[in-house]
């Protein structure tokens, strides 16, 4: 796995895709080695590396390593020791300075299973389909950039999950679900969930759907065992009008599906 990270860090072509050039790839949020469940998103927010003014996070505010914190000028200077520094901050993410505004909502959804990102459980982690933070939002990237990043990243995700003890993957939003289908052999069972409807004043309500399946191969990598995959079409952080009632219903649905 560390070799895979090293290879991505030294790939000059990554600049082509509007990746923040001084940021490290985030292979996991939390310690995947301890985790039985993982939530899955698209790619890390730039807020993991910089504040609202675009200034690099430093000191106690820092969440992940950068060229500056590793005291190198180029990713060609990366070595095994520095790669381990990167891994350590990934493993310790939820005990340091996590982006709670984003992660607390997801943690609530899985908390009915007794798993959590946070102490004392720490048996959950978060993964992204793309481990690179981009200077633009995912929706603003060109299609060829998205394809490029996905092609670069699916192998890493496959390796991570193959060498983990993850039993459950939770997919956050329709974009994640559709993209995951592209890189894996999953076949989803889609079901309308009437309690998940997002009401709109103009009457054009947004239906809620659950997705359920099993995955055996990701990015061409055969997993050691099938992983149960559950998802919901609403992006919990981004979908306007995801009420506490809808969130509670999704939480209850996941609680009934996940066996501890």
CA-closest candidate to residue 76, choices 130, 24, 11, 21:
11
Question: What range does the domain containing 11 cover?
Answer: 2-257
**Count of domains forming the chain:** 1
| Confidence class for position 1, pLDDT limits 50, 70, 90 | low
Average pLDDT over residues 17-33: 93
Q: What's phi and psi for 242, nearest 5 deg?
A: -80, 90
CB of 128 closer than 8 Å to CB of 41: yes
CA-closest candidate to residue 218, choices 163, 259, 162:
162
Residue 170, exposed/middle/buried by CB under 10 A (0-12, 13-18, 19+)? Answer: buried
Q: What percent of the chain has pLDDT over 70?
A: 95
Q: CA-to-CA distance for 247 and 185, rounded, in angstroms?
A: 28
CATH of the domain at 79: 3.40.470
Q: CA-to-CA distance for 146 and 130, rounded, in angstroms?
A: 9
pTM attached to this predicted model? 0.94
């Amino acid at each position: 796995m560390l070799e895979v990270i090293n290879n991505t860090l030294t790939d000059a072509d990554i600049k082509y895709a509007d990746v923040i050039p001084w940021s490290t790839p985030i292979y996991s949020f939390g310690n995947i080695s301890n985790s039985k469940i993982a939530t899955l998103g698209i790619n890390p927010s730039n807020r993991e590396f910089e504040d609202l003014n675009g200034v690099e996070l430093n000191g106690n505010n820092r969440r992940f390593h950068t060229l500056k914190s590793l005291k190198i000028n180029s990713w060609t200077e990366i070595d095994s020791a520095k790669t381990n520094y990167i891994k350590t901050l990934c493993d310790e993410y939820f005990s340091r300075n996590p982006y709670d505004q984003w992660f607390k909502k997801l943690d609530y959804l899985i908390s009915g299973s007794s798993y959590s990102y946070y102490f004392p459980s720490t048996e959950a982690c978060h993964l992204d389909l793309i481990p690179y933070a981009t200077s633009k939002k995912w929706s603003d990237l060109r299609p060829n950039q998205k394809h490029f990043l996905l092609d670069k990243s699916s192998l890493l995700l496959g390796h991570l999950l193959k060498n983990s003890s993850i039993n459950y993957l939770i997919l956050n939003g329709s974009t994640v679900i559709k993209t995951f289908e592209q890189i894996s052999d999953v076949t989803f069972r889609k079901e309308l969930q009437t309690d998940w409807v997002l009401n709109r004043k103009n009457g054009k309500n947004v239906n809620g759907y659950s997705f359920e399946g099993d995955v055996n191969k990701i990015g061409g990598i055969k997993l050691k065992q099938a992983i149960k995959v559950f998802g919901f079409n609403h992006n919990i952080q981004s979908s306007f009008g995801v009420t506490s009632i809808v969130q509670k219903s999704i939480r209850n649905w996941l609680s009934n599906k996940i066996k501890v």
